[in-house]
Chains A and B, each alone.
Chain A
Amino acid sequence: MPETQAQAVLALRGVTKRFPVGDGEIEALARIDLAIGRGEFVCLIGASGCGKSTLLRIVAGFEEPTTGEVAVRGRKIAGPASDRGMVFQDYALFPWMTVRQNIGFGPRQRGLSRREVDAIADEFARLVGLERFADRYPSQLSGGMKQRVAIARVLANDADILLMDEPFGALDALTREQLQRELLQIWMRTHVTILFVTHSVEEAVLLADRVLVMSAGPGRIENSIAIGLARPRDVASPEFNAVRRDVARRLTSHLIPARDREPSLAG
């Protein structure tokens, strides 16, 4: 469901990022312009070191762009806020809090009563299928369950933009597939907008409405590929494979050294 720039819930205008290194600087991101529509599921794919995580951290507000700006619903962001919830690869759950307290952390910051906070936390624990584990600590959960808590934690805080940084990267294949399915269900039910960073072509094609292919040195978005496949998608179907091959081809074409690349691709 791509929308026009005007309706974009998330817009990046001329975002660049340079990090100081020693005496010099590293250009991590060349100019990035990007608009993501309400409810859109966008996957950001690229080799490691291409700046996709940096881009996500800038959108989250953890880092400031060197130039340019990020706007949510037309308003420039200033640091992290509850409208954008990040799901980290290593979960970043509060280890001293139970599942219920972790999920209720955001609502608690808004000054709701304990009863309201618990009600919200239980509702979102149910959404991710963890209602029976509400009183456990993170150290007593499997990786997949931890990541469910992390997703519930940002949803419970009314985040309508989910930023996911290789969230299933540390999970085994079975758990990953299951969480991908569940994430799609949650996405369809809640209409959140998702910006999802991955380095798996298959994951990107399975999940996204649109795949953004990034290349490194400095990081930029080379291609924006709309995925027209009907949902639910079958990873074994010939159509799926055709799209996957197409995305993989565009991804690897950027892995050749910059000096050998045709100038026409750089646009």
Chain B
Amino acid sequence: MTEQATALPTAAREAEAEAPARTRRRRHLLETLRAIALGLGFPILLVLLWHWAVAYTGTRLIPSPRQVAVMMYDFAFGGVYDDAFSATILTHIWKSMQRVYGGFFLAALSGIPLGLMIGRIKLMRELLDPTINLLRPIPVTAWLPLSMIFFGLGPNAAIFLVFLGAFYPILLNTVFGVRSVDVRLFEAAAMLGCTGSAMFRQVVLPASLPAIFNGLRIAHGFAWILIVVGEMTGVPTGLGSVIMDGRTLSRTDLVVTGMIVIGVCGFVTDRIIVTLSNRLLAWSPQHHA
């Protein structure tokens, strides 16, 4: 078996590879540190530019990084301004996350099964595809008045708007994923005795998973973007409402603080999705993000 001999490291070769393994680990660590340094370096540079620009122009409309840092500290721990926003960060994050993930999971729960069916069943495609492509170009913000009539002034309207924004990328990527699966895989499954709903669960879904995860990631980004729009609907708490309040009160330090918190929340949760997808898609060498 010449082929196996080349593919399998022999015991001797494994022993030989033992020593370089440590160097390889060290090189990997250095590589990671370098990536972190570069990734952090650029935002630090931006903050320096910001500081310099505010100091140079002497504007009072834009807060300096220092003022925002103080606001951030007060928002998180209190003890500086002791107003309605002091030490309320967790409440706002928690409320916003409920809306972001309420809308996001509703979109995933409906978009993925619907996408699998539209991708695989011709009748569903013919029935739904024109309608979806008609509704899709309508901006989410255009739904704002109607959603407030449907759901009243409250969190449900925000969840609905997030859902709308997250639904289309999930649906379209799922459909695309199913449509681009090699037909042979379905044939292979059929000849091995796989039919009906087992086909969806065991072949269609896993085969489309790389595309589905792309859709989830895009939709997740949209969900955080839309939270500000969603919380314009007159809810008292949430990061979006903090920004709206900051605008009304002309407190730009509060506005920028809210922006940064949303950015960080979106970043951290995106990393969770990427980690999850890398784990679930370990079989797909093309999909490491």
Return chain A residues, CB-CB under 8 Å to B1: 129, 178
Give the contact-size bracket for chain B.
20 to 34
A80 with B190, Cβ < 8 A, contacts A145-B7, A174-B2 known: yes
Return chain A residues, CB-CB under 8 Å to B188: 86, 88, 92-94, 153
Return chain B residues, CB-CB under 8 Å to A105: 189, 192, 194, 202
B2 contacts A178, C-beta separation under 8 Å: yes
Return chain B residues, CB-CB under 8 Å to A94: 185, 188-189, 203, 206-207
Return chain A residues, CB-CB under 8 Å to B191: 60-62, 80-82, 84-86, 154
A157 contacts B187, C-beta separation under 8 Å: no
Return chain A residues, CB-CB under 8 Å to B285: 139
- One digit per residue, 1 when the CB lies within 8 angstroms of any chain B CB and 0 when it does not, for chain A 63-91 equals 00000000000000001111011101010
Q: Does A144 belong to the interface (CB within 8 Å)?
A: yes
In whole angstroms, how far apart are the Cα atoms of A88 and B4 in the complex? 22
Contacting B3 at CB < 8 Å: which of A86, A95, A142, A157? A142
A109 with B192, Cβ < 8 A, contacts A92-B185, A129-B4, A145-B3 known: yes
Nearest residue, chain A, Cβ from B282:
A137
Give the contact-size bracket for chain A.
35 or more
In whole angstroms, how far apart are the Cα atoms of A144 and B166 in the complex? 43
Q: Does A110 belong to the interface (CB within 8 Å)?
A: yes
B184 contacts A88, C-beta separation under 8 Å: yes
Return chain B residues, CB-CB under 8 Å to A82: 191-193
Contacting B284 at CB < 8 Å: which of A106, A139, A142, A145? A139
Overall SS of chain A's interface = loop
Q: Does B209 belong to the interface (CB within 8 Å)?
A: yes
In whole angstroms, how far apart are the Cα atoms of A80 and B199 in the complex? 14
Q: Does B49 belong to the interface (CB within 8 Å)?
A: no
Residues of B in contact with A (beta carbons under 8 Å apart): 1-4, 7-8, 182, 184-185, 187-194, 198, 202-203, 206-207, 209, 281-285
Residues of A in contact with B (beta carbons under 8 Å apart): 60-62, 79-82, 84-86, 88, 90, 92-97, 105-106, 109-110, 129, 132, 137-139, 141-142, 144-145, 153-154, 157, 174-175, 178
New contact pairs (18) apart from A81-B191, A94-B189, CB-CB < 8 Å:
A61-B190, A62-B187, A79-B190, A85-B191, A86-B187, A88-B188, A90-B182, A94-B203, A96-B209, A96-B284, A105-B189, A110-B193, A145-B4, A145-B7, A153-B192, A154-B191, A157-B193, A178-B1
